[in-house]
Structure 1
Amino acid sequence: MIETINLSSVPAFILILIRVTSFFVTLPIFSYRNIPTHFKIGFGFFLTWIMFYTISIPEIPIDGTFILLILKESLVGLLIGLIAYIILSAIQIAGGFIDFQMGFAIANVIDPQTGAQSPLMGQYFYTIALLFLLAVDGHHLLIDGIFYSYQAIPIDSFIPFGEEGIAFFVIDTFNQMFIIAFQMAIPIVGCLFLVDVALGIIARTVPQLNVFVVGIPLKILVAFLAIFVSIAFYIMLIQDLFESMLHSMRGLIQLFGGG
């Protein structure tokens, strides 16, 4: 006996599908273009099918309010994934600081995941961070974030965009991103600053020595040695970065839910 399909629950299924697929548009790892588009759509559909039977589904009529709910669901998915991407982009900013001091700022590479130009050291640290995220099953926690959003933001409710708390939260997230980037870059940048001071002293005491020829390979060598010594420190910062990313996602979801 074939079970009849409840057509009244189709609008709710569409709204869940829109939030999940919008979430994957900006979420790290899942939004990268080297993942096939049909895989993203299929994964979002089956994840929506699972969520459909695990959350409370209200009866939503198809009218003018339904169009507004579609816009709300797309914004919720995009912004939750975007806040995670903003936090994770601190690694790229730290790599840009390091490349500028090393002399690698002119040699940007194309990131095959996003298609944008990224600094060499930033791409190196970003790859390590992504591998560490996959190794500790962090991508499962990211998916749990979109599932948790339905506890705070029901399907048939709207989000309070006019509240000041959301704007202050986004500004605080940006500040936190730059603080983490500064913490990641300061060991290398500090060592290279000392090298610049030493080269300046040498240039004043030994004018015959061309410090511009000696300085560039010396700074690269010192930077690589400092990276090798402080790699364990970077792993600790990456762990804090992931915790900040998850806390930021949950904090934004609570603000959207009016909490």
Structure 2
Amino acid sequence: MEEFVVKISAFILILVRVTSFFVTVPIFSYRTIPAMHRVGMAFFLSWIMYYTVEIPSLQLDEFYILLILKEIAVGLSIGLIAYIIMSAIQSAGGFIDFQMGFAIANVVDPQTGAQSPLMGQFLYIVSLLFLLSVNGHHLLIDGIFYSYKMIPLDQIWVPFGDEQLLNHMIKTFNSMFIIAFQMSMPLVGSLFLIDVALGIIARTVPQLNIFVVGMPLKIGAAFIMLIVLMSVFFMLVGNLFEQALYAMRGLMQIIGGA
């Protein structure tokens, strides 16, 4: 009976971490996936992990509640840091929309329920399809699996106030904005040059209505540049996935005290 209690206690802790991870991580946390499917996926994934991770000796005492709270915090943190990195795509789309003139028109993202820029939503969907095609979702599951090696189930203390952890989060935000700038810079720079050319034309040919000609010209040029630079965009998206895995691994090492 005591052995059965230990097994159930360990399985509940694994299930709590995986379920919390699915709440915030990209792809698995989207509202387009029914909640019943997410719970079922988390349950069977936890069942598989139960036979592969090291199970410590656990007791149903006052410290078990702290372990459950710790597992919730760990799962949410690992998924959140991956979501922060992936938000670089929508940030890049926001920069592009502002330069194209699409900033006044936002769409509701069906995956998160929040408003997002038009180009940001388009680039984000393309990136998710690319992520699924290269089995990037397997890498996300792999990340939560290896978290049990760095953060044991019986570890109670989580150093959320540690300076090293705060520096890691700041570096993650910094990386997100740098990658967003790299993604948007070719298009934004090209549209800026078009603005300069239109300004020169407006001064030399005052009879031409630049406000009527400029908007369609910028939109057409932006779509052409987007087609030309799509390969570069995918290269940066691949770098984004790599940065997300490094950010998750670094966070797990800091929490686990490695």
- TM-score normalised per structure 1: 0.96
Indicate the residue corresponding to 1:166 in structure 2.
165
Alignment-mate amino acid for residue 169 of structure 1: H
Indicate the residue corresponding to 1:10 in structure 2.
8
1:114-153 alignment, distance < 5 Å: 114-153=112-151
- Whole-Å separation in 1 of the counterparts to 2:82 and 2:232: 22
Shift of residue 4 of structure 1?
Answer: 10
Indicate the residue corresponding to 1:196 in structure 2.
195
Cα distance per residue 1:204-232 (max 9 Å; x no partner): 11112111111111110111111011111
Does residue 206 of structure 1 match 2:205?
yes
Does residue 223 of structure 1 match 2:218?
no
Shift of residue 161 of structure 1?
Answer: 2.1
- Whole-Å separation in 1 of the counterparts to 2:17 and 2:28: 14
Moved over 3 A (4+): none
- Whole-Å separation in 1 of the counterparts to 2:21 and 2:95: 30
- Whole-Å separation in 2 of the counterparts to 1:93 and 1:133: 18
Indicate the residue corresponding to 2:184 in structure 1.
185
- Whole-Å separation in 1 of the counterparts to 2:46 and 2:227: 44
Cα distance per residue 1:59-93 (max 9 Å; x no partner): 21222211111111001000100000100110000
Cα distance per residue 1:14-40 (max 9 Å; x no partner): 111100000000010000011011111
Indicate the residue corresponding to 1:65 in structure 2.
63
User: Mind listing any 5+ residue stretches in structure 1 that lack a counterpart?
Assistant: none
- Whole-Å separation in 2 of the counterparts to 1:232 and 1:8: 51
Indicate the residue corresponding to 1:245 in structure 2.
244
Cα distance per residue 1:76-132 (max 9 Å; x no partner): 000100000100110000000000000001111111111111111111111111011
Q: What is the SS of the residue equivalent to 1:118? A: strand
Mapped contact 1:110–1:117 kept (Cα < 8 A):
yes
- Whole-Å separation in 1 of the counterparts to 2:6 and 2:122: 50
Indicate the residue corresponding to 2:97 in structure 1.
99
- Whole-Å separation in 2 of the counterparts to 1:23 and 1:69: 16
Alignment-mate amino acid for residue 230 of structure 1: L
Indicate the residue corresponding to 1:46 in structure 2.
44
Alignment-mate amino acid for residue 247 of structure 1: Y
Moved more, 196-205 or 22-31: 196-205
User: Mind listing any 5+ residue stretches in structure 2 that lack a counterpart?
Assistant: none
Alignment-mate amino acid for residue 251 of structure 1: G
Alignment-mate amino acid for residue 239 of structure 1: G
Alignment-mate amino acid for residue 173 of structure 1: T
- Aligned alpha-carbon RMSD (Å): 1.3
Mapped contact 1:98–1:121 kept (Cα < 8 A):
yes
Q: What is the SS of the residue equivalent to 1:6? A: helix
- Whole-Å separation in 1 of the counterparts to 2:6 and 2:97: 56
Q: What is the SS of the residue equivalent to 2:249? A: helix
Mapped contact 1:159–1:258 kept (Cα < 8 A):
no
Query: How many residue pairs align between the two structures?
Result: 257
- Whole-Å separation in 1 of the counterparts to 2:41 and 2:3: 22
- Whole-Å separation in 2 of the counterparts to 1:161 and 1:29: 26
